[in-house]
Each structure stands twice: as structure tokens, then as C-alpha cells.
Amino acid sequence: MYPAQVTSVTENPAPILLRKDLARSIRQGQPWIYRDALQPGDDLPDGALVEVRTRDGRPLARGFWDARSPIAVRVLESGGPGHRFTDIETLIAGRLAAALDRRLDRLDLANTNAFRWVHGEADLLPGIHADYYAGAAVIRFDGAGARAFYGPIEERLRAAAGSRLPLDAVLDRDQRGGADEREVIEDGVRFLVDLAHGQKGGLFLDQRENRLLVAGRARGKSLLNLFGYTGGFAIHAAVACARRTDTVDIAAPAIEAARRNFELNNLDLASAGLHATDAFDFLTQAIKRGEQWDIVVSDPPSFAAKCDAVPAARQAYQRLHRLAASVTRPGGLLCAASCSSHVGRADFLATIESGVRQAGRNWQLEAVYGAAFDHPVIAAFPQGDYLKFAVGAVS
């Protein structure tokens, strides 16, 4: 499943010369070097270990090569003159273990056994993500360079887990085969995850803390979970004694998974609406019927996968927030999420404000939250600060 590493860590890295003066940003931790910032050089295979040098030939950083991506080098380690670079095997092993340490320091596996173990650049392991689900690690590589460089990863993960973390399977997200459904726990709430077919396994781990936040305010309230996938927000709210929940997702298999998750937690389906339909259509019809909820959670997929999609994304967010505000009971909460790094915080908040005003309502921002702690952000890599979860009162 995992390819052999292209470049042995005992080999000398291939020298790569910068064309642009990026020494300062690289030393400050910028993990990406684009192809147009480099001088032309020899063709290198995906995953080749490279030494990035300044324009005058001084060693600056080590990383690995991606032959086809616009991001030609992902930086593993940088240093000034005289810096002694770490052996790559030692570096990877140490960072895998350190990433796990940071998670286990804050998680009780008996209460939460689904989390992100490795979060790429922010854990100083650029180009690789690893999610843990009740004994299984699901790996995602960002490009052919990362896939070639980090393989074979299974042995490294097992060594890092040791006796601290049960690990019976390591799966490649892009090469998954046969059935592998598991029951996981998130703050005591149970979910079924489909590791063979489900998008992100069936549970968006980055929203874990936001699910708990909403659940803490749901007692006795009605909640609408738009783009609800397998019911995460609604199920946490129902466990927290919400009066009623409604989950909307266009994918019928996701709604069926939500139903199974409600049953898994012994929740009353009579007070749980499950709607396999388009969220925009659902909201339009709900407005016509005069329906409203105490808490509305909008968690759509990315509306802007690329920079040139941002204008259309703004319009889509604005329309969504207009409709969502219209079905939020006066005094209720509108919780709006965006997972696109191309739409910044200020832009996103502006779409909420304008959409709510178009609905003839007001929205008072309480706070903007991000991803759960196991999805860290580093200052040198703002692209990693992608998730916005804005909570505010509608009047």
C-alpha cells in the first residue's frame, strides 16, 4: 500500500538554489517553496531529499521534492550558517511521537478515541495528515512527493504509537479497500465511522470542540443542522437534551448514517428530523411554512476550492446566511461555518452580516472559533487557519 522511499536518508540531498530571496521567511518556518522561486536544475523524482540553498549557495533548509506540484519543495527543517541538520529518520520519528504526545496530553481515550494525530505543516510534517479512529490510522498525502517521501509510513506510526495507543490498522485514504466500519467515542457520544468509503470517515474531527460548544447551549432548545452529514451537531445536541433536532444533507447515505448514529446513542427518533434534501431548498420551504429554530448551525462544504472561486463563494455564503437567519427564532443563535482558507475571516463575517440584514434581522457576533486543538495553526503558515465557526445572536 505504501511505496518505498525514493531517496534513502543516508544519501546526500540534491542541492536546490533559490531564485528569490526567501531566506528569512524559510528560517521563520514557511514550509512551502513554489517552483517559480527556484533556479532551474536537474530533474528529480518525487520524494527526493533536497537541500535548499540561498542564491549564493549557502545551505538554508532541507525538504522533499514534488516533481509536478506548484509547491516544489516542502520544508522539513531550516537553519542558519553552521546548522547541523537532523538525520531524517530521527526527525520523522521524533515528530510523529511529539504530535501524539500533544494529543494524548489532552485527551482521555476512554472518552474520546477519534482525533487528528498528524496535522501536516503545523506538526512540522508537511504534506501528511493522519486521523485516528478507535485503533485505525487513516493517512492522507498531499501530492506524489509526500507519498513517495514518507513511505513506508506504517512502521513509523506503529513505532510512535508503541504501547500508548492501540493501532491495529493503517489505511491510505486514497487507496482504501474492503469494509472497515468502527464505533468511535467523542466526549462520550458514539458515532459509526466508515473508514473504507466515508468522507473523512463520517466524522469531521476539526469541528469536535464546536459540536461540544453548541451542545452546551442546546438543552430544551430546537436545533437545525444544515449540511449535517452524519448528524454530528444534532446528535451531540440531542444527547444534551435538546427538545428537537433537524438534520439536513443532500446525500441520502449520510442521512441514513445519521439515523444509525441516533439509534446508537439510544435517542428518540420521534424528535429527530432527518432530511435528505438540498439545504437551500429546505430553507426556502421552511420559510414558506413559517418554521423557526432556536439554534441554526450551517456547516457547508467549501464554496471556494480555488482563489478564483471566491467571488461566487461570497454570494453563496450571503444567500445561505440570509435564508438561515430567516429561520432563526428571535433571540436564537446562528452558528455559521466556513472551511475555505481562500475566504478570510473578515470576508466571511461580512457575508453573515449582509445576509442577515437582507433577511431584515440583526446578528450580534459573540465569538469566532476555529478548528479543534488537534488541528493546530502556526504563524508561518496562515493557510492552515482555514476553519471559521462564527456564533452570534439573531434579533
Q: DSSP code of 10?
A: T
- Characterize the bridge pairing of strands 328-338 and 293-298: parallel
Distances (CA, A) of 394 to 98, 214, 326, 327, 358: 42, 15, 9, 10, 13
Concatenated DSSP letters of 196-246: TTSGGGGS-GGGHHHHHHHHTT-TT-EEEEET-TTTHHHHHHHHTT-SEEE
Give the angle subtended at the CA of 379 by the CAs of 373 and 383, to the nearest 5°. Answer: 80
Locus of grid cell 443542522: 225
> Exposed, middle or buried by CB within 10 Å (0-12, 13-18, 19+), for 24?
exposed
Catalytic residues, by residue number, are 339
d(CA 40, CA 37): 10
For residues 130 and 139, the answer to whether their CB atoms sit within 8 Å is: yes
Task: Give Dmax (Cα) for the chain.
Answer: 71
For residue 128, the number of C-alpha atoms closer than 13 Å in the C-beta half-sphere is 32
What's the order of all strands across the beta sheet hosting 49-53? Answer: 14-17, 49-53, 59-65, 71-78, 32-34
Distances (CA, A) of 258 to 74, 245, 255, 297: 38, 12, 5, 16
